[in-house]
Amino acid sequence: MRVPAWVSDVVSGGVVLDLTIAPSPGEALSVPSWTSVASAIIAVAPLPFRRTWPIAVLSLMVVLVGVMAVLGVLSPGLASAVAIAPHGVAFRVARRTGLLVVFSMVIAVVLLGLMAPWEPMT
């Protein structure tokens, strides 16, 4: 019996939200900011569409990382959502296209991460 595709979407969405809501290992127990929770919810929303439109979902994730980097909100949940998105590209497009898209995404995310302020806004 094959597991329905939506089950993996629910599990991955749960992991992303859990990583956002749970405190980071180096921090004292604190409530996450509303912007980090909102960014995780926005990042989870397009993940079910990564099977149909893998490159569009990956591009949306890169734009979301750029916006959150400028705002100074980079959370583990957002990072894990961005890490899930390239798998749709890797499994659903030609190898050369997937390699170029994912390589471009990694460069864009690193450059956008460098734009983040040194002290995050809370």
Please report whether residue 121 resides in a domain. no
77, 20 contact by CB (below 8 A): yes
Please report whether residue 122 resides in a domain. no
Q: What is the domain extent for residue 104?
A: 5-114
Which mean pLDDT values do the consecutive 10-residue runs of the chain (122 residues) have? 82 81 64 75 84 86 80 75 80 85 82 66 53
DSSP 64-113: HHHHHHHHT---HHHHHHHHHHHHHHHHHS-HHHHHHHHHHHHHHHHHHH
d(CA 73, CA 20): 11
Give pLDDT, residue 73.
74
Please report whether residue 119 resides in a domain. no
Please report whether residue 48 resides in a domain. yes
pTM as predicted: 0.74
Give pLDDT, residue 29.
58
Please report whether residue 45 resides in a domain. yes
> How many domains, the chain?
1
